[in-house]
Amino acid sequence: MKKIILLALLSVGLFANTQPYKKEIVLDEIIKPTLVQVELDNEIYKNTAYDYRDIRLKSQRGVEGYFIKSLSKDHIVNNKTLTATSYDREKAKLTYKFKKPFEIEKIKLNIEDRNFESTVDVYADGKLLLKNQKVFDYSNETGNQNFVLKIPKVKVKKITVVYHLDQTTSFYKKYQNLREMSKYLTIKSVTFSNFNKAKNVFNKTEIKLERSSVDENKKETCYVFKTNDVPFSKIVVNFKEENFKRSGQLYVSADAEKWQSFKSFSLLSSTLNQQSHKNILVNARTKYLKLVLYNADNKPLNIENIELFTTPTYLYFIANPNEAYTLYFGDKNLTNPSYELKSLVSANDLAMKATFSKLEALDVTKVVDEVSFFEEYKEYVFMVAILLALIVLGYVAFGLLGRFGNTEH
């Protein structure tokens, strides 16, 4: 009976493996659970459903939670690293002066010491900003470290950092039979940062013309492109001609046979008055694109290529130390999973960047056939499973009754 149940469970495990593709995730070594960000690439776009419902993330421990988000802007970090302008050793006070006012949101203390904890105060142009902020290094204990101080955004000419000598503790004695280190910290420099500037970030894919045709009666030209399901938010059309003004219509299709009207547009290029508008702003993901330009009585235009600008889309998940992660995808019959991770962290949180390995195709022909069989006869499979469970329960109950009867005699 146990063997039958085990075989049934193994069969269910086989049915779940229907993904035709996988990519390993390559990430740096970590020492604690870390939020990881991996950018989806064109191979994933080409082989996934439009809403990414087929994506599954797995580790040695099983299926892992994740979420997917597009980010149109990338913050540019402005850093200034300074050494102390003055240092009052007795008061453990370090002063840092800027040549001109600098806006600060984050302070990172570049401390040489290890295995300690302390608290610091931060002053901006003489005004107290932070008080008793803890800094620490537990290299020998947990591997954790925090030398970063987040402050309200402020523009300053001078920053003063004071660490409390009476709250600076060394852990050398705990781990080594050495003399306790000095209660003074060695702060070699301080890095001041802000995140004021942001720029739109796009990935560009050049698509060559698949075919074109001219309809003399309708006075229009049709241009077809194969985009391989790359999502895009902007199209730039590159013409051989320089002076023109045409309106048109954008169509999308999954098979280049049935077309759906998507958006009207207008394009302009003039070397006479230095005007140019060759962009079509549209959010879409499709396998084929068709541009129809209305020529009126003008000559048809020649399109060299189009450029698709894609807003980067990222996979986010929590990685654990000494764990390998693999992304499986391609089975578009799956439904969207629901994980709680998206409500626990934000795509704006600091994440470690990782990359995908090359695409690996998996042989799932046999597994897909088994899934089809299971789908067709799943009602009978469930009935058999219930019947087996009832037989097991009856067997156990009969055994208990027999034992109870023997004890009475």
**200 alpha carbon, distance to own chain's centre:** 17
pLDDT digits (tens, 9 = 90+) for 274-299: 889 999 999 999 999 999 999 999 99
* Interval 380-401 mean pLDDT: 71
CA nearest neighbour of 252 among 276, 235, 269, 277: 235
The CATH number corresponding to 203-310 among 2.60.120.260, 1.10.357.10, 3.40.50.920, 1.10.580.10 equals 2.60.120.260
- Residues near 71 by Cβ (< 8 Å), separated by ≥ 6? 201, 311, 312, 313, 314, 347
CA nearest neighbour of 162 among 90, 106, 61: 90
Using alpha carbons only, give the angle 208, 210, 212 rounded to the nearest 5 degrees.
Answer: 115
Structural domain spans, the chain: 1-18+364-409, 19-71+312-363, 76-196, 203-310
> What pLDDT is stored for residue 400 in this prediction?
59
* Interval 154-158 mean pLDDT: 94
Q: Is the pTM of this model over 0.75?
A: no
> What pLDDT is stored for residue 326 in this prediction?
96
pLDDT digits (tens, 9 = 90+) for 356-384: 999 999 987 544 444 445 555 566 667 77
Q: Tell me whether the CATH fold assigned to 76-196 matches the one assigned to 203-310.
A: yes
pLDDT-derived band at 184, boundaries 50, 70, 90: confident
* Interval 17-22 mean pLDDT: 87
Q: Which fold has domain 76-196?
A: Jelly Rolls (2.60.120)
pLDDT digits (tens, 9 = 90+) for 91-132: 999 999 999 999 999 999 999 988 888 999 999 999 999 999
Mean pLDDT of the chain: 84
Residue with tokens 């995808």: 329
- Residues near 39 by Cβ (< 8 Å), separated by ≥ 6? 312, 313, 314, 315, 355
Residue with tokens 């149940």: 5
Instruction: Name which of 145-159, 163-177, 273-287, 363-377 the model is least confident about.
Output: 363-377
pLDDT-derived band at 405, boundaries 50, 70, 90: low
- Residues near 300 by Cβ (< 8 Å), separated by ≥ 6? 214, 221, 293
